[in-house]
Amino acid sequence: MRREPPQRLADYGPLFFPAGMLTVFFVVPFATMIAVSFFQREQGGFYQPAFVLDNYARFLSLFFGRVLGFSLMLAIAVAIACVVIGIPFTYLLSRTARKVQILWLVALLSILSLSEVMIGFAWSTLFSRTAGLTNLFVWLGLMAQPQALTPSFGAVMTAMTYQAFPYTVLVLYPALVRLDPTLTEAARTLGASPVKAFFTVVVPALRNTILATLIMVFIFALGSYLLPQLLGRPQHWTLSVLITDQAIYQSNMPFAAAMAVFLVLVTLGLVGLALYAGRQKEAA
């Protein structure tokens, strides 16, 4: 059987169901959301078809600027933390025995699939006064009495790093497994220490992978919708949290939709950048 272009209508048969489903339940909802972002909001959570730019005009407020700035800053911080720990970790992981690798991969996948609600709950427990880390510090004599570590920026940051770390490792994993081991071997033979070989050979060879991973993790962190709400103060709310809040609790669908459209544009721009960075791999 040669691979050939579809000729008869029947050849397109298998495509009908998937194409239909994706169009009706992804493209149409997406278009609906874009349309709603231009609608006029009415009292009581309803909205009217219209074409107004009010919802987008609200972006220009100081409050929105602050939320956007904070969201981007937080996502960048999380991405950097994850990649800085993730690269040496994944590098070492890719060089361990296959059994050990699989064990870690299963653990990482399990944590990655854990609901954001559960991650938030787990960290709020760990940071709580009654069952938290500080009890350990008190027991060790480092602290006088246990205290709650939430809500705080540190708590949000830690939990988001926790959530994004398995993702980072899984994004880096294929590139690091494929990395030619003779590269580091050559460096070692020439007298470089393992640490020096890592920084002077592995890191530069992976420059574009690292950049692409940073962007992927950044987008992942931008999507975190619960942790800032569960572990932070209102000033730690991100764009994702705000969209949920506007849609569900403030019943302002048009504004929520406008913010979502904006988030899509930011994300698509970054995905484009990540793909571009990834494609430069061979050129480098």
Partner 1 sequence: MTALRRLFFFLVGLFLALPLIVVAGVSVNQKQTLAFPPQGFSLSWYGEIFTNSEWRNALIASVTLAALSAALALLVALPLAWFLWRRVAPWANIFRLLGVAPFTLPPVITALGLLTFWATTGFYGQPWTAVISHAIFFVTLPLVTLSLGFSAIDRSLVEAAATMGADDRTIFRTVVMPLILPYVVSGYAFAFVLSLNEYIVAYMTVGFTMETLPIKIFNALRYGYTPTMASVTVLFLAIAAVVFGLVARFGDLPKLLGAMAEDK
By CB under 8 A, is residue 102 in contact with partner 1? yes
d(CA 231, CA 175): 34
Decide whether 95 or 153 has the Cβ nearer to partner 1: 95
Site for partner 1 in 163-182 (CB under 8 A): 165-166, 170, 173-174, 177-178
Q: How far apart are CA 223 and CA 219, in angstroms?
A: 6
Query: Is 28 a residue that touches partner 1 (CB under 8 A)?
Result: yes
Query: What distance in Å separates the CA atoms of residue 217 and residue 161, rounded to the nearest whole number?
Result: 10
CB of 76 to partner 1, least distance (A): 15
Among 70, 123, 237, 255, binds partner 1 (CB under 8 A): 123
> What are the φ/ψ torsions at residue 46 (nearest 5 degrees)?
-95, 170
Instruction: State which of residues 52, 72, 77, 126 lies at the interface with partner 1 (CB under 8 A).
Output: 126
Place of tokens 């653990």: 107
User: 85 or 211: whose CB is closer to partner 1?
Assistant: 85
Q: Shortest gap between Cβ of 182 and partner 1 (angstroms)? A: 15
The 202-231 contact track toward partner 1, x by CB under 8 A, reads: -----------------x--xx-xx---x-
Q: What is the 3-state secondary structure (H, E, C) of 41-78?
A: ECHHHCEECCCCCHHHHHHHCHHHHHHHHHHHHHHHHH
Find the binder of partner 1 among 82, 212, 215, 260 (CB under 8 A).
260
Per CB under 8 A, 154 contacts partner 1? no
Residues 39-98, interacting with partner 1 (CB under 8 A): 85, 88-89, 92, 94, 97-98
User: What contacts 24+ positions apart, CB below 8 Å, involve 105-109?
Assistant: 105/170, 105/173, 108/166, 108/169, 108/170, 109/166, 109/170
